[in-house]
Amino acid sequence: MLKAERQQRILARMQETNAVTVRDLARAFSTSPITIRRDLLELGEKGLLERTHGGAVVSQEVLAEGNARYEMYNYAERHRQQSAEKAAIAECAMQYISDGDSILINAGTTAHALAQALSGHQDLHVITNGLTVAATAGQSHLAHVYVLAGRLDPRKQATIERADNDVLSGIQIREAFLGVHAVSAAGIFMRDSEDASMNRAFIAAASCTTVMADHTKLNAFASFRICPWSQVDRLITDAAADQAVLQAIREQGVEVVVCG
């Protein structure tokens, strides 16, 4: 295993657990503790983690920066960030949608970009918890739009509800298209537990799940894992995405589509 791939997998483990030990990493990657210590040292010098006795923990600066970046930008500002990449990802996603489909699109700016691209399809049934997604998809008289109930999250312009409240009870969906806060080899992540829980319900209701994430999501951090890649069918991203992470995801049986 190349050093770059090993270090990316170390960071991926920290996405899931927030902390790692030299012993566990050496065993997992079939390498020496000295090699792992060197990896942790290099990652620590880059500010990606904090060394501890016998291992490392997530850098508080990385965690705080990610949360602060999300909080400081309102929805409209986030919508403008990586807008070209999000539009390209949405166009790639369109090839998996056919007239008459029943699809779920979650909330967020990448999901909104997909809603904007739907106008050419007829008789779509679109289920969403995203208010801007619903408003955009609803502009077409060719789509039937259903908005899920829940608590309003103004940061995401979304309704949020825990999965144990049967938010999707009795609903079957051909495909779910999900935008997420963070992507790593360990899976897909959200910044709050309710959002992660709701997206798990979306995946459970769908026959196929497509994750849409621009390259910045591969370098982001979020604390709550939605699921591992074994529960995802496809990832759509852009050409600037980290190739080592994409390869690690492919090796888990996920179709990786790189657009642009």
- Burial class for 257, CB neighbours closer than 10 Å (0-12, 13-18, 19+): middle
Please tell me the predicted confidence (pLDDT) of residue 49: 78
The pLDDT, as a whole number, for residue 78 is 53
Residue 255: CB atoms within 10 A of its CB come to: 12
| Residue spans of the chain under pLDDT 50 | 65, 68-73, 75, 79
Sheet containing 187-190: which strands, arranged edge to edge?
182-184, 187-190, 224-227
pLDDT for 146 equals 93
**Quick one: pLDDT at residue 199?**
92
Residue 125 structure tokens: 């049934």
* pLDDT at residue 72, rounded to an integer: 42
> How far is Cα 248 from Cα 233, in angstroms, rounded to an integer?
14
CATH numbers and ranges of domains, the chain: 3-58 (1.10.10.10), 74-259 (3.40.50.1360)
**In this predicted structure, what is the pLDDT of residue 79?**
47
Residue 68 pLDDT: 45
